[in-house]
Amino acid sequence: MTLKDDVAIVTGAASGIGQAVAVQLSKQGVHVVLVDLNSCEATIEKLAHDSYLECLGDIRDAEFVKATVNRTVEKYGEIHILVNNAGTCSRKNIETMTFEDWSRDLDTNLKATFMFTQACVYPHMKDAQYGRIINISSVSGINGGVTSGEDGTGRSGPAYAASKGGVIALTKWVAKELGPFNITCNSVAPGATLTAITTGVPYNLDQQVIKRIGTPDDIASAVLYFASREASYATAQVLKVDGGISIG
């Protein structure tokens, strides 16, 4: 895949899917900007080269988002790839969910995706007439959550499902808006994947065609395709990487 010397911003890069995405991009020669609330030291140790920028802060903060994009452009001159990956997931049901729980998931998963997209596209990707935006959504945003546990308590909550459904809708809207500028926007929708968010959740893998939990690298490999120049004719797509749980 053609990615060498591209510049990529990856949110949630300290661990899990974000870490796997950053590492796989670095192996393709991409300069990676690691964005997280927590230290990205563990990710940095796995990178294939030393061309990276670490930006630590709250992605729900508009000023932090702008500062991250500005630091990226100051160091590398341009932005080719944006991976909106960082997320939170409350598993409370609609009866017990608080307004704070709701706002946290919506602000982290959807609002931050909007803010990073806006800041990267205008003016940088638009002026360059090139860009690859990949949003990590979830099958929860399509089917309302993967059932887990005998009583269903492990299912992701309504705020998570709503936020990821919003990410999917935003992906399609942005794809239509930015296609004329040679900017694509796609989404990867993971199913059950081994990350901090899913630790301890009792997924019923018998429901899947592929009877194992996914890995961050499974998701990162899909991101890698959408980030490449070879994906120039793919936009507004939602690629489910879920072991086949969404077949029927």
Q: Which residues are marked as active site?
A: 160
The two tokens of residue 186 are 């796609």
The two tokens of residue 155 are 């299912």
What does the longest C-alpha to C-alpha distance in the chain come to?
A: 52
| Cβ partners under 8 Å of residue 89, min gap 6 | 105, 156, 157, 160, 197
| Cβ partners under 8 Å of residue 163, min gap 6 | 87, 105, 106, 108, 109, 110, 141
Nearest to 4 by CA among 25, 23, 35: 25
